[in-house]
Each structure stands twice: as C-alpha cells, then as structure tokens.
Structure 1
Amino acid sequence: MANRLSAVPQSKFCRDAQLLFLRSALTVENPFNSTQQVLGWLQERNRQVKVSVDRIPFSRMSSWAFDAERRRLAHSSGSFFSIDGINVQTNAGPVQDWDQPIINQPEIGYLGVITKVFNGTLYFLLQAKIEPGNVNNVQLSPTLQATKSNYTRIHKGKSPNYLDYFTDRRRCEILLDQLQSDQGARFLKKRNRNIIIKADADIEILDDFCWLTLGQIKELMGIDNVVNMDTRTVISGISYGNHLDETVRFYNLVNRSSDTVGTRLLASELNAEVALHTTDEIIHWFTHLKTRYDLLVRPLPLKSVRDWIIEDDCIRHKDEKFFRVIGVHVEIANREVTGWDQPIIEPMNEGICAFIAKEIKGVIHFLVQAKVESGNFDILEMAPTVQCITSSYDNTTSRRTLPYLSEVLTLATDGKSVIYDTLQSEEGGRFYREQNRNVIIMADDDFPEETPENYIWMTLNQLKIFNKFNNYLNIQARSLIAGISFT
C-alpha cells in the first residue's frame, strides 16, 4: 500500500500515521472484539451499572445556586461551568437581535484517544461511558473525556483513568492534536483539545474499555446513539493524506473490486488535486463573509434575559421553544464521583443536520454552509448544508425560506439518495437526551452547482484540511464527517 499511495510531499511521520489511520479505517475484522460482541458488551454494561437521573428544583441542587442578583447559575467552587445570559446582535439571518441563556465553560478539556498497533493495524481504545444526559446511558467515548475541573479533581473524586498518558508527553507519540469548538448555539466560545496518541508499551485494559479499529467505529456510527459526540469529534480530524489524482485513481483501480459509494468517498478524501474551488478560493470566500457578518455578544443577568422565564425547576422560553435549563441529581456507580447535582440543557425538539453531496469533476463534493451562531469563537464556522431543529421545518414558511431544507427533506425520503442516516446524541454531560438526525444525501447530476453567497462546494479532502485548524468546522459538520465509511 505504501508504494501505491505516492503522495504530495509530506514528512515520513505524517505518511506513516496517515497509512496507519487508512488501514484501520478499511478494517472491520477485529480478533479482540467483533462489532456484534461490542454491541452485546454495551448492552451488558447498561444492565450492570446502576444509573439514576432525577429532576430536582434548582434550590435542591447541592453546590449549585443563583447568585444574590440572579445574574448566573454557578457552582460554589467557581469551576466546572455556569449558566449565563447573553444578548446577541448580528446582521446574519432573519432574526438579528435576541437574548438567551448559554453555557459558559471557559476551560479547555481533554478529548483523547489512545491507539496501539497490533499485527500492523491501528486500534483505538474506547470507553463504555455513562453520561447523565445520554438517551441510552452507555455510549462509546474517548479513552479520556475530562474537563479541566475533572482532571484537576475539583470534585474531590478519583483522577480519570489513563490521564497520565496524555499529560506525560514522553510516554506516547502524538498523531493528532487540535483545538475544536463545541455547540455554538449553546456554549459561549467553548473549545476542547482533541488528541490521538500512539502507545508502544503494553497497556492495562480496564473493565469499561475495549480495542476497536477505526472501521468498526465508523460501522457503529451507522447505529443510533452508540458512539458519543466526543468520540465523533476526535476521529473527524483524522487525515489519510493528500494525494495526486492519478495516484488515487490507480489505488482505487488496484484495491477496490467495484465502483461503490465508499470507493468514491475515499477518493474525495484522498484527492488533493481535483476540486471545484482551490483552497485559496475557499479561504477568500470564508474571509469575505467574516468581514461582512457582524456578531456582537453582550453578557446579561439571567433575570434580564428577554422572553425567558426563571421558574423553581427550569429556565424556559416563554413560548416553550428552543431548550430548557433544568436541574438533576445524578447517581452513576462507575464514575470518578458516584453522585452529584448539576444543571443540564433539555432540548424542546430533535434536529436535523444534513450534508448534500454531489459528484463534480468526477469527485464527490459536499455543500458547506458558513453559519453564524451566538457562541462562535470567530463569527462563522463551516456547517452542514442544513442544520436546524424540527420546529423550523414543521413550519411551511420555514421550509420555503431555509435554504436547501425542502430539498433535504424531499431527498431524505428517497432511500436511493441517502448514503448515511442515523440518530446521534449530543454530549450527555451537558445535554439531556438530545439527539439529532444526521444525514448525508447524494444529489443527482441535475442538482445545481450554483449556490447562495454563504454556501460553497468542498471535497472531503478540503474539509479535512480546514479541520486541522481552530474554529473552521463546527461540531455538527465534524460529526457527519466522522460517520463517513469507506467499507
């Protein structure tokens, strides 16, 4: 394989890592754990681990309270996160001035995966982890998933498992290391460190952990609510290299038996030569929009947030829209701290996150939206073609006015157009039973290449280039990219 994939010049370390990732992505056979065994193991962990999540009034939350002037809802330590109020003003979209509660969590947390090579194949160490907001309790999380407050043990509990592999840089090789954003509509400028490391020494495998290939992880992402959001964002950053068009075509000819969707998606991932727009043109498009759109976010006391009502057991919109902030008491037997209280965000609707894809110049492109959200670090992020909640598309007017929404809903009912369609959970530590439909749809040749100003066609290779850098791809786009399988 190494000889066939002659590449655009890169360091030997990068090439070696990319080939390890690619081989793992194309491997679904696992002598340690078959995919069916993993699903059975997750079900067994669900039966074995005691989980209790009960709604409680804010006044009963231990260590959490509103301050005297009801400016924010915060932890007594000043750590973890707080629920703040903001006013948002922007010239993007039909609503240009609104207030809302938002999660303020300025700490940068770890989302880290340990990998190791067995018999030439790279395996990923994932955890069967329970979060209070998970719709099905146990989901596959990274090896390490911890906020700074967690790993510095503000909670007085145990240190997270495998933390020392990430804090002692001498122990492992770093294969990927990125700062990535979180939900821009719910978090205020929140980022996490997404990191993948490779260990050479033997590793003790604890009870809630297992080795999986990247191909298996992607296979499991085709099942509703199995792979959690944090795992999805980490593996979304994996690059398989930048290769010449001639090389990619030769690789597909030699290594693939037929022209499948997976083959074509892999070509879009590897091909660094053929695209509708150059990388410089995409940078110009994005920079131009950043100078055109304004995003002014001002802090507000929670008690002063327009259209939102603070009640004994929730903070809600007056029209029961968007989301609610509720309080919960949590007991989970196998966590660093087995019992605690916290606020958590409860959605009022499920949502849909969808990419429309189309073959252009013989390579699959994705229709990318430049989207302004209240908590964005730098005004805009690259988002899926459509990203909205169901209350937006239950409305006939919204179906007409939201770009590409009608096309997505129409094509999504046509089974032959859909190449990926699952329900995926948002992060269960902050969001209560929130799941969104994740869809990738292949449009036919008649679908127009012309786009509105804040949309552009990009190959998967180009998306991965921008994903290497901070604050370009939003978490919804990264979640969809992570689910793309080549097998």
Structure 2
Amino acid sequence: MSHRADALAGRARPDDTMFLADRLSLSATTFDNPRFTTEDVVPWLERARKEGGFAVDRIPFAALDQWSFDHETGNLGHSTGRFFTVEGLRVTGGGWSAEGITQPIINQRESGILGILVREIDGVLHLLMQAKMEPGNTGLVQLGPTVQATRSNYTRVHHGGHTRYLEYFVGPDRGKVLVDALQSEQGDSFLYKRNRNMVVEVFEDVPVHDHDVHRWMTLGQVHSLMGIDHLVNMDVRTVLSCMPLGRQRGALDESVVGEPADSFQSALSKSLDRSEQAVHGDLELLTWLQDLRTENSHSARLVPLRELAGWSTDEGAVTEPSNSCVKVIAVSVEAGTREVTRWTQPMLQFPSQGVAAFLAKRIDGVLHVLVQGKAQPGIRDAIEFGPTVQCVSRDWRALPQGEWPPLLDLVLGAHAGQVRFSAVLPEEGGRFYQRDNLYTVIEVGDEFPDAEPDTMRWATLTQLKDLLRCGNHINVEARTLMTCLQSLWQGPQ
C-alpha cells in the first residue's frame, strides 16, 4: 500500500463530502492496477466487440417489430405503451424564430439508472466498469458504467434477462449511496428526460459475473482514457462529473508536487478547492440562472408527428428538406451480451458532428470556465448552465460564418498551445445513431476579457459540482466537459 493509501487507511468514515472527495482523489491519482492494467482496456473492448455477436442494420419502418405509427397522430410508439414515443415538438419565442421551430423529439418520461459500483481494493476505491454495447455507438462497444438501464428495461418490459448488479442500486439491500442526483439528458432531443446518476459503495466481495463484460478500474485509469475518441460513453461521463473531488493536500498532494504555482494543473487544482476565491459567489451564480429562467419566454409543446410542417415520412426516414436537422430512422439489432439478444427500434440520426467547448481562464490563479445559460426545449426548467459554445443539434457548417454561435470562431481557430483537451466523444447510444461530438477545452489568456456577456458567467469546477448535487442545473454537454477537465487533474503516470 502506498503512503497515500496509508494516510487514509484507518480513518473514520464520516458521511461528509470532503472525506469522500479525499477518497476519490486518491483513486483519481492511482494508475497502477495489477488486476487489470490500463493497457488492457482497449483490447478488452475490442474482444467484446468481436465476440459479442453484434450487428446493427438500417431497416424500413415497415420492418419494425412492435413499433408502429399511430393512425391519428403519426406518432411512433411501442405496442406496450412503454419505452418511448417519437412525437412532434413546436417551439416559439425565447429567441427562436417568430414562426417557431418544429422537429421530432423523443418523449421518454421515465427515469433510468446510471450507476457505478465502487469498492475499496488495497485501500483505494475501484469502479466496476462495463464493456457496454449500444446500437447507436460508433464501434458498438464502449466503456460504460456498472448499470445503465431505463426503467422499462430493468423492470423487464422486454421479457429479457435481469440487469446485472441492479440490486446494489435499488431496494432495501442496496449498498451505501455516495452520489445520487437526477440529471437532465439532451434537451434538443428528449422531452424532460432525466436519469438517476448514482455511485454506490459496497464493503464485501462482489461477484464479477463475466470478466469479459465487467472489470474493476481506478478513477485514474478511467480518466486516462477520456482523451481517446469514441471510448468512454456518455453515461460514464455524466456520473463521473457528479463525483466530488478536492484540491489535494498533505499526503494526497502528489499530483501537484514539482508543478509551478502558476501552472495549469495548479490552477485546475485550485478550481476544485472550496476555499479558493471565485469571481462570483455560489448564490450569485444560482440567482443569475434563476433570473434567466424567470425571464425566459419560449414555449414548447408536443404536436402530432404527422403535423410537423415541412417534414415528410418515407419508408425509411422522417426528414425535412434541408437535411440539416435530426431525422428519424429504424434499425434492427443483434446483441449476444444484452438482456434481449434481438430487437428493432427507431433512433434519431443527426446531420453532422457537433462542437461543445469550454473556454477556461486563470483568474487570480484559479481556473474558471465560461458557462452560458443554455435554453433547450426539452429541459424541464427551460435553461441550464451549458458549455461556452454548444452547437450540437443542427449542421452549423451549413450556416454562414456570420451566423455562427458566439465564440465558435475562437474555439475553431485556437492554436495548439491553447487546447487543453480535445476528443470526439459519443452521445447516448441507445436512442441516437452514431451521434458524436467534438469536446474541447480551450484556455484563453489575458487577451480575453474577464468581463462577461449577458448570457455567460465565469465559474469554478467546485461551484459547478456543488450545483450538480441538486440536479437540473448543469446540462449533459457541460457535465461531459467537466469530466474532461477533471481527467487532466492527475498525478504522474
């Protein structure tokens, strides 16, 4: 056991966030795992991909099994009335065009569970990770959480197998809950959808049902994989963003030993320290967000899918003429390692790869990120904190540069020395077909003003993490970027 682990071993285990942050910080700076090395991860996922018997094919709507278009509304739904429906959405006001926008949207009101099981091994918290197949994932198999299931799935509406490890997250015999928050999903594609983000600790041996599907890894190992394109799925990233981390001190301070006091890593460490001064107070940030929500004037309402003006349905897709927006398609799936091994379903397909970016700046030595109040029609409270730049819904490349979102030109024109993180990462693979976005963190210097636009505010990572404990304040794209940033906060490998 390392001296860092010794520093934690034998200490009381109070139910406080700071102690949990210390334990997670230790895991985040631990990269040695003799039971399953980081170098083993990619071959493990590739083997799961080759041996899983996976196949995903586009099919016409007529080939869907138990899915059909309603004769009156044109909405696409399942014969059980469960899972989800694809309906129409009309949005007016709030900065959208006077005529409003119309689009298909997934109406899935039930909340699922995204859960990571943790256990101390040799004094260090390890995470039980899964080689998770989803039909919309690029490459099909990616690194997923222990449990990733909708309520319809884990209540077995599909009459398939049981969800492994579900018993640790629900019911009277579940483990010790460390993190539990309802978080929103993509507000441009889901109507009011939320998932329960959970981290649960167990203190006894946990059977690994199948070493080809689940493996124990440290948080440091998972962080070190974040920069690999298409590897860490969205559900892992959102749960990791909810985990508290703290600035390391004393025996836990190895990650910043030898780092200059004004280094990026030092500024990032301070951004996770509640004792450091932020540009805005916590209540000031929250009040600003509530002001935006109160003043918001947009209106979103469901309409029959068949009544979407300008949209048409043929045998294989629901589309609009420009093809610059989402379309509805159908797929057939074979998946030997899933609870159900064969099924068909509708999915949403997006026109191009989007961009989500944080601008980051050291202000008085503390790293701040520029967040915007991002309005999306499918968000329950209309507006949540989002990335500095978020253009992931429509094909921004088809727009004249003068109509680009604010600061997109700065993000795309950043030189290599400014890019702190950049990777193409997948979105939710259970409902979206090969939807990938570029996630990037760009550090700006003194040439970028501290003064903020009306729709943006500087915030530290610890402020955003505190808001995550309440849920419904940080959107899913911003949560991914928070995880991307915290993956840079690590010790020597």
TM bucket, shorter chain = over 0.9
Shift of 1:273: 3.3
Q: How many residues align?
A: 477
**Which range is displaced more, 450-459 or 390-399?**
390-399
What SS class does the counterpart of residue 136 from structure 1 fall into? Answer: coil
- Where 1:140 maps in the other structure, the secondary structure is strand
Deviation at 1:463, TM superposition (A): 1.0
Given that 1:83 and 1:104 are in contact with CA atoms closer than 8 Å, whether structure 2 keeps it comes out as yes
> Which residue of 388, 391, 395 corresponds with 1:385?
388
Distance change in 2, residues 1:383/1:142 (3 Å): same
Alignment-derived partner of residue 377 in structure 2: 374
Q: Does the CA-based 8 Å contact 2:5-2:124 persist in structure 1? A: no
Confirm or deny that 1:87 pairs with 2:93.
Answer: no
Cα 1:251/1:39, change in 2 over 3 Å: closer
C-alpha deviation, 1:272, in angstroms = 3.7
- Does the CA contact (< 8 Å) of 1:322 and 1:349 recur in 2? no
2:170 pairs with 1:204: no
Counterpart secondary structure, 1:149: helix
Establish whether residue 158 from structure 1 lines up as the match of residue 158 from structure 2: no
Tell me if structure 1 keeps the 8 A contact 2:88–2:105: yes
TM-score, L = length of structure 2: 0.92
How far, CA to CA, are the matches of 2:92 and 2:469 in structure 1?
29
1:107 to 99, 110, 115: 110
Change in Cα spacing, 1:396 to 1:163, as seen in structure 2 (3 Å) is: closer
1:69 aligned residue: 72
Match of 1:33 in 2: 36
Equivalent in the alignment of 1:420? 421
Is 1:393–1:399's contact at 8 Å kept on the other side of the alignment? no
1:48 to 25, 47, 51: 51
Q: Deviations over 1:282-327 (max 9, x none)?
A: 1221111112212311221111012221111111122111211101
Aligned-residue offset at 1:219: 0.8
Task: Report the AA paired with residue 234 of structure 1.
Answer: V
Say which is worse superposed, 25-34 or 326-335, in terms of deviation: 25-34
Q: 12, 20, 23: which is aligned to 2:23?
A: 20
Aligned to 2:310: 307
Shift of 1:270: 1.9
Q: In the alignment, which residue of structure 2 is the partner of 1:221?
A: 226
Q: CA–CA distance in 1 between the matches of 2:98 and 2:117?
A: 43
- The letter for the 2-side match of 1:424 is L
Return the letter of the residue paired with 2:45.
L
Partner of 2:271: 268
Question: Which residue pairs with 1:436 in the alignment?
Answer: 437
Alpha-carbon contact 1:315-1:326 (below 8 Å) kept: yes
Structure 2 residues not aligned, in runs of 5+: none
Residues of 1 paired with 2:367 and 2:325: CA distance? Answer: 34
Give 1:240 shift: 2.0
The CA distance in 2 between the partners of 1:480 and 1:152, in whole Å, is 32
Larger mean CA deviation between 16-25 and 195-204 belongs to: 16-25
Asked if the contact 1:252–1:263 (Cα under 8 Å) also holds between the matched residues in 2, the reply is no
Inter-partner Cα distance in structure 2 for 1:255 and 1:409: 30
Deviates more, 1:166-175 or 1:208-217: 166-175
Secondary structure of the residue that 2:433 maps to in structure 1?
Answer: coil
Give the superposition deviation at 1:15: 3.0
Q: Cα gap change, 1:186/1:162 in structure 2, threshold over 3 Å: closer, same or farther? A: same
1:104 is displaced (CA, Å) by 0.4
Residue type of the alignment partner of 1:428: G
Q: Relative to structure 1, is the Cα distance of residues 340 and 71 closer, same or farther in structure 2, using a 3 angstrom cutoff?
A: same
On the 8 A contact 2:126/2:216 being kept in 1, the answer is yes
Q: Which amino acid in structure 2 is aligned with residue 450 of structure 1?
A: A
Identity across matched positions, percent: 38
More moved, 16-25 vs 125-134: 16-25
RMSD across aligned positions (CA)? 2.3
In structure 1, runs of 5+ residues without a counterpart are none
SS at match of 1:298: strand
Alpha-carbon offset, residue 399 of structure 1: 4.7
What residue number does 1:60 align with? 63
Q: TM-score of the superposition, structure 1-length normalised? A: 0.93
376-385 or 445-454: which moved more? 445-454
* 1:231 maps onto 2:236 in alignment: yes
CA contact (8 A) 1:92 1:293 kept: no
How has the CA–CA distance of structure 1 residues 95 and 119 changed in structure 2, closer, same or farther, with 3 Å as cutoff? farther
AA at the equivalent of 1:219:
S
CA contact (8 A) 2:29 2:255 kept: no
Q: Supply the distance in 2 between the matched residues of 1:273 and 1:47 (Cα, whole angstroms).
A: 48
The equivalent residue for 2:292 is: 289
Q: CA deviation at 1:56?
A: 1.1
1: CA distance, partners of 2:318 / 2:215: 39
- CA deviation digits over 1:70-128, x for unaligned, max 9? 43100000000010111111223567711111000001101011100011110000110
Q: Is 1:195 the equivalent of 2:198? A: yes
State the distance in 2 between where 1:73 and 1:146 align: 21
Partners in 2 of 1:452 and 1:95 — Cα distance? 24
Q: Distance in 2 between matches of 1:263 and 1:3?
A: 24
Is the CA contact 2:226–2:232 (under 8 Å) kept in the aligned structure 1? yes
The separation in 2 between residues aligned to 1:95 and 1:445, in whole angstroms, is: 39
**How far did 1:170 drift?**
3.3
Could you tell me how far apart the structure 2 residues matched to 1:17 and 1:273 are? Answer: 19
Residues 250 and 220 of structure 1: is their aligned pair in 2 closer, same or farther, counting only changes over 3 Å? closer
> Cα–Cα, structure 1 residues 253 and 138, in superposed 2: closer, same or farther, change >3 Å?
closer
The 8 Å contact of residues 114 and 197 in structure 2, kept in 1 or not, is answered as yes
- Alignment partners' CA distance in 2, 1:81 and 1:17: 36
Name the structure 2 match of 1:121.
124
Query: 2:278 touches 2:366 (CA, 8 Å); kept in 1?
Result: yes
Q: Which shifted more, 11-20 or 97-106?
A: 11-20
Maintained 8 Å contact 2:325/2:395: no
User: Hey, what's the Cα distance between the residues in 2 that align with 1:27 and 1:3?
Assistant: 13
2:261 aligned with 1:256: no
